[in-house]
Amino acid sequence: MTTTTTTTTTTRQIVLASRPAGNVTADNFRLEEVAVPVITDGQVLIRNHYLSLDPYMRGRMEDSKSYAEPQALGTVMIGGTVGEIVESKNPKFAVGDKVVGGSGWAEMTVSDGQALRKVDTTHIPLSAYLGSVGMPGMTAWLGLTQIMQPKAGETIVVSAASGAVGSVVGQLAKLRGCRAVGIAGGPEKCAYVVKELGFDACVDYKSPSFAADLAAATPDGIDAIFENVGGVVFDTALARMNAFGRIAVCGLIAGYNGEPMVLNNVRMILTMRLTIRGFIVSEHIDLWPEGLKELGMLVATGKLKFRESIAEGLAAAPEAFMGLLKGKNFGKQLVKLI
């Protein structure tokens, strides 16, 4: 039997209109108004409440070899979403259920339920399922526990430490008895990383004394790095690595628009016998239940803190995404639809 709570006849979505030539521009996107889809047996209709904006989307906009197929032109921009079931012909979902999925940049969407996960918002805000208790949190958890493998007393360094992923890495490291040193852009973000998130130190990569400041913050060297940025930030941290250090490469946002990235300290990989591993969190779904259980418990009990930057309305998504790529966001970047 069909149940429904919507009488809307049209909805909006944003599609990829063209591929970027260097920096992403507003012209790369197109806002469309379309008819609300009609669901069939086994399907549900979702009204999205929040869209997730993440750096990986920049790579999907390119028609180049990568770990995933490029975003096709004229299709809805990819991305994580949280929302509410407003119509259901699927016995596993009822109207009113809150769900996490990958609907992309759209106000409403249809799903067969295979890629949906019902979530409980009693103790965890719905938006957090796109951040600390979602893909970014799992990215942090996976890189830290599986690649960096921190031991109590070790020094770990996290670039983009005030962001959705980096902020979780440092807090998890502290809970495991490590010295957590963040790297962020500007005094305000660095103050937040130390005073609110509990890192031991945070270094401003925009400062002319960045290299000296990082050395001062890591007097015993660096045992593990969680890398989100690349470029000069990564190169400077490489020079501080201890023997047999581990590096989890999550992102290289400094080069996403085609900028060259030179590593002057690449010799440290050999001389310090470093282990460097890039990873894609979606390739380790088997570990998600374990990671999400820990992350959910920590958020629900207030032991894992997070911050969100929220853009209002679907039309604001392109500008917010361009800002994200330039580090203008503070914490997890979301678009609020309702």
What are the C-alpha distances in Å from 205 to residues 63, 108, 213, 229? 31, 40, 9, 11
Indicate whether 298 belongs to any domain: no
Taking residues 274-289, report their average pLDDT.
Answer: 96
> What total of structural domains would you count in the chain?
2
Q: Is 294 a domain residue?
A: no
Residues 77 and 13 in one domain: yes
Whether 52 is covered by a domain: the verdict is yes
- Tell if the pTM clears 0.85, that is, is over it: yes
Verify that 157 and 200 share a domain, yes or no. Answer: yes
* Mean pLDDT calculated for residue range 96-101: 97
Q: Assess whether 53 and 159 both reside in one domain.
A: no
pLDDT tens per residue across span 124-134 = 999 999 999 99
* CATH classification at residue 16: 3.90.180.10
pLDDT computed for residue 291 by the predictor: 98
Judge whether 291 lies within some domain: no
Based on the domain organization, do 140 and 276 belong to the same domain?
Answer: yes
Is 293 inside any structural domain?
Answer: no
Alpha-helical runs (H) found in 227-332 = 231-238, 268-271, 288-300, 317-325
Does the structure show a pLDDT above 50 at 30? yes
Asked whether residue 234 is domain-assigned, the answer is: yes
Is the pLDDT at 1 greater than 50? The verdict is no
Tokens of 75: 């299709």
Per the prediction, the chain carries an average pLDDT of: 94
Q: Which two tokens stand for residue 196?
A: 């609110």
Residues 3 and 97 sit within 8 Å (Cβ to Cβ): no
Residues 32-49, mean pLDDT to the nearest whole number: 96
Domain check: are 94 and 13 in the same one?
Answer: yes
pLDDT band at 67 (very low <50, low <70, confident <90, very high): confident
Tokens of 165: 């992923």
204 and 227 in a single domain? The answer is yes
* pLDDT of the residue at 43: 97
Are residues 258 and 207 located together in one domain of the fold? yes
Could you tell me the end-to-end alpha-carbon distance of the chain, in angstroms, rounded to an integer?
27
Per-residue pLDDT at 2 exceeds 60: no
Coil, helix or strand at residue 210:
helix
* Same domain as 275, residue 208: yes
Residue 279: predicted pLDDT: 96
Higher per-residue confidence, 56 vs 256: 56
- Across the range 47-61, mean pLDDT stands at 95
Domain containing 329 equals: 3-131+307-336
Answer yes or no: do 111 and 143 share one domain.
no
Within 13 Å, how many C-alpha atoms sit on residue 137's CB side? Answer: 26
- Whichever domain contains 261, its CATH number is 3.40.50.720
According to the model, what pLDDT value does residue 6 have? 56
The reply to whether 83 and 204 lie within a common domain is no
